[in-house]
Amino acid sequence: MSEVLQGIRVLDLSRIFAGPDSAQMLGDLGADVIKVESPKGGDECRYLGVTKAELEKIGAPSPSFRSFNRNKRSIVLDLATDAGRDAVRRLMLRSDVVLNNFRPGTMERWGIGYDDLCTEHPGMIYCDFHAYGPVGPLADIGANDLALQAHSGLMSITGEEGGPPARAGSAIVDLHASLAIVSGVLAALFHRERTGEGQRLDTSLLLSSAHLMSYFYQDYWLTGNEHRRMGTANHLSVPNQAFPANDGYVVIIAPSDEMWRRLAAALDPETLGVETFRTASERLRLRKDVVEAISAITRGLSKHEIHAKLSRAKVNVSIVNGIGEATGHPQLEAVGGIFHHGDGERYVGTPFRLHKSPGRMTRGYPGLGEHTAEILSEAGFSEAEIEELSGEWK
Amino acid sequence: MSEVLQGIRVLDLSRIFAGPDSAQMLGDLGADVIKVESPKGGDECRYLGVTKAELEKIGAPSPSFRSFNRNKRSIVLDLATDAGRDAVRRLMLRSDVVLNNFRPGTMERWGIGYDDLCTEHPGMIYCDFHAYGPVGPLADIGANDLALQAHSGLMSITGEEGGPPARAGSAIVDLHASLAIVSGVLAALFHRERTGEGQRLDTSLLLSSAHLMSYFYQDYWLTGNEHRRMGTANHLSVPNQAFPANDGYVVIIAPSDEMWRRLAAALDPETLGVETFRTASERLRLRKDVVEAISAITRGLSKHEIHAKLSRAKVNVSIVNGIGEATGHPQLEAVGGIFHHGDGERYVGTPFRLHKSPGRMTRGYPGLGEHTAEILSEAGFSEAEIEELSGEWK
């Protein structure tokens, strides 16, 4: 057996980012993932964040849909109808894992909640994914990644010092939640393998954002410290931030006194090797002076010159890349972080690599409802039933 | 069996954030986690990001160490000595999972790499965690969370439009990598439960950062688009950003035309309900006008007034909280996201909840080497060996 999740069936009723991305990773590990989509255009992500002109150029679906939906088959079922819900129930009964991100109580209202099926299917692993979780004062408030960047306090520590709050530029809470779903589902599968017991689990954008903020919360609980925005800098040490080059920016991090000495020697022993900057606590106290002294040197050099000098001296350094530079760098390819598929298509791979049973890509993104008849037929639906269920949509 | 990882032994040789946090989550799930620390002060995180004055007030260790090291026991062993390395080897042979974040090749140089032990212990799950991964042009470059926010392009899309790059204020790449480790280890444990086979796995800050950026990379590969900084705004839809209140900020997200109509009705039908703003594509085109029209209204209201109006109208909204407000909000507690321990201590809990076998906290952070003798004794070391190994340090 070379695939971790060979023989595991996942029914994914979720949309947009976190749920689909988590199901994709389960598919990377070899699960048979079925994506249930609405007849009204399917997952909204198919058209998200892309202009009409771009869609005409690259064809549907959107780049983000392509990012989160490899290794899946798509079935269209209308959950607004009795027949659609009944079909989902039948598919759930033959699935090992069921994911959904409907508002709390929706699956129950449709008669396909965990409690409706768990007696008949005690091995089922059923995952709810919500914005703020299933209960509590915010359970019914709509939210997305940005809302949780705001609610969690992340935005209060992101951006320029004294300036307005900023967001982390990517949907990091959403994609972090995706890995929380994967972790929870794998934990439940391991538990079932040892005990025979399925179970319900849940996670949320809220839990994910709190995990990302956990050490700030701990700091606040213990000391009352409310850290604030510092641009690219960090309250932990100096230097630990971006510095200007003559053609962009680099980040330089030298937390230990030993690394600082190497930095000073590599960049300019005369101005940086001074006694006053030698200890971490003094560099913290003289933050402004240290930053100015380093900037005075880096401004005269190119990004690549600084990177070469400092990496040679074993000082932590990175170029602040644009997206083109980041994707063009050979490192991600070198570690197997890019999946190649079809005719030159590239996809960011599974974010961890098992050496005997690594994630892999066997299918591109599915067309809307592309596998409806195939999936229903496998599940024992009759020709007439298949016709009825797909006829409504086509 | 009520705990998912009951009977699973984890030997954690890692330091700072990602590795320790992942081992903590395995401990939350019931694993017996042993943290191996150096006699030279142990995990550097014990003193990280906290001033001497704060340490005197709250006592060691630092808030971040407390955040990432519950549910563990600590053993001090000196990997610079033959006796220390031999002790680690003996502990590895009785562990199900081994984690390390040394530079590539270090464990091998010490004779305790995967290949050194896998014949004798084929069921071992061995996880390497690196900055850029084990191979490739950047394998030997030092890096931290900030470096990967820079390298990945995340920093290029974070911050004010036209301003300098900013970092996401928390160590999101590190903590995302932590969940990647947990996912990889759980996948390997599931595989071993079904096949008897252990294996090596790895992940890195690089793979985690690429996962967080995956849809931007896909967009670039398909269209050549390099998105840039937009403050709190988003290229996906308008409004989808922070707006000023008279006492702070709120984020408002109304991607669909239906939600926009509800927003306009709730805030100001006269100025917002106009024909020109009715469709998503026009709101994108007239971004500046839409943002100004909303801001003109929100500036006159408090955060809580805006939140009440819009949540009542089923529009996605959140207050931009500071860290004190975020931790003080009752929602995280309501969903079981906070672990309580000891005398009023609070900790951010496991970021997913299994209903039959949820993560829980049984131990606070360990003192440096607190369990050295106990762990060695359990592992069958003699009194004399224990004396020799711990004598060197004490």
CA distance linking residue A220 with residue A373, whole number of Å: 55
Residue B157 has pLDDT above 90, yes or no: yes
Based on the domain organization, do B95 and B20 belong to the same domain? yes
Contact: B219, A322; criterion CB under 8 Å: no
Which residue is listed with tokens 């049984």?
B362
Do B262 and B348 sit in the same domain of this protein? Answer: no
Contact B202 A159 (CB under 8 A): no
Residue A355 maps to a domain? yes
Tell whether B311 and B343 lie within a shared domain. no
Residue (of B211, B193, B174) closest to A24 by Cα position? B211
d(CA B134, CA B138): 9
Q: Is residue B218 part of a domain?
A: no
Q: Is B153 left (phi over 0), alpha (psi -120 to 50) or beta?
A: left
Q: Which residues of B are catalytic?
A: 174
HSE (side-chain half, CA atoms, 13 Å) at A166: 33
How close, in Å, is residue B238 to chain A by CA atoms?
Answer: 11
CATH of the domain at B195: 3.40.50.10540
In a shared domain, residues A15 and A143? yes
Residue B143 Cα, gap to closest chain A Cα (Å): 5
Per residue in B292-312, pLDDT (tens digit) is: 999 999 999 999 999 999 999
Measured between alpha carbons, how far is A242 from A262 in angstroms, rounded to an integer? 18
Residues of B in contact with A343 (CB under 8 A): none
Which of A167, A213, A230, A257 would best serve as a mutation to test chain B binding (most B beta carbons within 10 A)? A167
Interface contact flag, B321 A150, Cβ < 8 Å: yes
Give me the mean pLDDT over the B359-375 stretch: 97
**Beta-carbon separation of A232 and B187 below 8 A:** no
**Residue where a domain terminates, one of B321, B352, B379:** B321
Q: What would the pLDDT profile of B97-154 be if each residue is shown by its tens digit?
A: 999 999 999 999 999 999 999 999 999 999 999 999 999 999 999 999 999 999 999 9
Q: Which residue has the higher pLDDT, B49 or A282?
A: A282
Q: Taking residues B180-194, report their average pLDDT.
A: 98
Per-residue pLDDT for B354 more than 60? yes
Q: Closest-CA residue in chain B for A54?
A: B223
* pLDDT surpassing 90 at residue B392: no
User: Considering its fold, how many domains does chain B have in total?
Assistant: 2
Report CB contact under 8 Å: A54, B225: yes
Which class for A224: exposed (0-12), middle (13-18), buried (19 or more C-beta within 10 A)? exposed
Q: What is the per-residue pLDDT for A171?
A: 97
Q: Specify the amino acid at residue B140.
A: D
Are residues A289 and A361 part of one domain?
no
* Range(s) of the domain holding residue A173: 9-212+332-391
Q: How confident is the model at residue B183 (pLDDT cuts 50, 70, 90)?
A: very high
The DSSP element (H or E) to which B334 belongs, if any, is helix B330-334
A174 catalytic per annotation: yes
How would residue B394 be classed by pLDDT, with cut points 50, 70 and 90?
low
Do B170 and B247 lie in a common domain? Answer: no
E strand intervals along A272-369: 316-319, 338-341, 345-348, 353-354
Same domain, A280 and A386: no
Is B222 contained in some domain? Answer: no
Q: Per residue of chain A (394 residues), what is the pLDDT tens digit? A: 579 999 999 999 999 999 999 999 999 999 999 999 999 999 999 988 787 788 888 999 999 999 999 999 999 999 999 999 999 999 999 999 999 999 999 999 999 999 999 999 999 999 999 999 999 999 999 999 999 999 999 999 999 999 999 999 999 999 999 999 999 999 999 999 999 999 999 999 999 999 999 999 999 999 999 999 999 998 888 999 999 999 999 999 998 899 999 999 999 999 999 999 999 889 988 999 999 999 999 999 999 999 999 999 999 999 999 999 999 999 999 999 999 999 999 999 999 999 999 999 999 999 999 999 999 999 999 999 999 998 756 6
Find, in chain A, the residue whose alpha carbon is nearest to that of B44.
A256
Q: Which of B262, B289, B321 is the last residue of a domain?
A: B321
Distance to chain A for B354, nearest Cα, Å: 4
Task: Using alpha carbons, select from A18, A1, A351 the residue that is nearest to residue A209.
Answer: A18
**Are the C-beta atoms of residues B255 and B236 closer than 8 Å to each other?**
yes
The alpha helices in A196-302, defined as continuous H runs, are: 205-212, 214-223, 257-267, 269-272, 280-285, 287-298
User: Half-sphere exposure (CA, 13 Å, Cβ side) for A329?
Assistant: 25
Average pLDDT over residues B213-232: 96
Catalytic residue among A21, A28, A32, A174: A174
Mean pLDDT (chain B) is 96
Is cis: bond before B269, omega within 30 of 0?
no
Q: Do B324 and A226 touch (CB under 8 A)?
A: yes
Its ipTM equals 0.97
Residue type, B100: N
No. of helices (H) and no. of strands (E), chain A = 19, 12
- Residue identified by tokens 């042009």 is B137
Question: So what's the pLDDT on residue A393?
Answer: 63
Whether residues B154 and B245 share a domain: the answer is: no
If you count DSSP H runs as helices and E runs as strands, how many of each does chain B have, helices first? 19, 12
Nearest residue, CB atoms, B147 vs list A52, A176, A251: A251
pLDDT of residue A394: 60
Contact A221 B346 (CB under 8 A): yes
Q: Determine the pLDDT at residue B240.
A: 96
Domain contains A232: no
Look at the alpha carbons of B256, B258, B260, B263 in this order and tell me if their dihedral is positive or negative.
negative
Minimum distance, in Å, between the CA of residue A262 and any CA atom of chain B: 13
Q: Are residues A313 and A341 in the same domain?
A: no
Give the pLDDT confidence of B54-109 residue by residue, as tens digits: 888 899 999 999 999 999 999 999 999 999 999 999 999 999 999 999 999 999 99
Assign B357 a pLDDT band (cuts: 50, 70, 90): very high
Measured distance CA(A98)–CA(B256) in Å, rounded: 27
Q: Kindly state whether residue A71 falls inside one of the protein's structural domains.
A: yes
Residues A248 and A105 grouped into a single domain: no
| Pairwise CB contact (< 8 Å): B327 & A217 | yes
Beta strand pairing status for B97-100 and B9-12?
A: parallel
Cα-to-chain-centroid distance, residue A343: 26
Pick the closest to residue A252 from A272, A232, A270 (CA basis): A232
- Residue whose tokens read 């890995």: A179
CA distances from A189 to A89, A204, A376, B231, B357 (A): 21, 19, 25, 41, 12
A117/A93 Cα distance (integer angstroms): 7
Q: What is the Cα–Cα distance from A260 to B249, expressed in whole angstroms?
A: 39
Reported as a pLDDT band with limits 50, 70 and 90, residue B1 is low
CB pairs under 8 A between A and B: 541
pLDDT recorded at residue B393: 63
Q: State yes or no: pLDDT of B208 exceeds 70.
A: yes
Give the nearest partner residue to B169 out of A138, A154, A188, using CB atoms. A154
Judged by CB atoms closer than 8 Å, whether chains meet at B326 and A133 is answered as: no
What's the CA gap between A309 and B298, in Å, rounded? 50
Mutant choice from B21, B29, B179, B365 vs A, greatest count of A C-beta within 10 A: B179
Q: How far is A288 from chain B (nearest CA, A)?
A: 17
Question: Is there a domain that residue A233 lies in?
Answer: no
Note the pLDDT of residue B52. Answer: 79
Together in a domain, B136 and B79? yes
Q: Which residue has the tokens 């340090």?
A: B393
pLDDT at A1: 52
In order of A69, A88, A266, A288, A363, the CA distances from A73 in angstroms are 9, 15, 55, 56, 9
Q: Say if A306 falls within a structural domain.
A: yes
Question: What CATH number does residue A311 fall under?
Answer: 3.30.1540.10
State residue A392's pLDDT score: 58
Average pLDDT over residues B243-263: 96
In angstroms, the CA B378 to CA B383 distance is: 11
**pLDDT tens track for B317-343:** 999 999 999 999 999 999 999 999 999
Q: Is the dihedral of CA B184, B190, B195, B196 positive or negative?
A: positive
Beta strand A125-130 with B345-348 is: unpaired
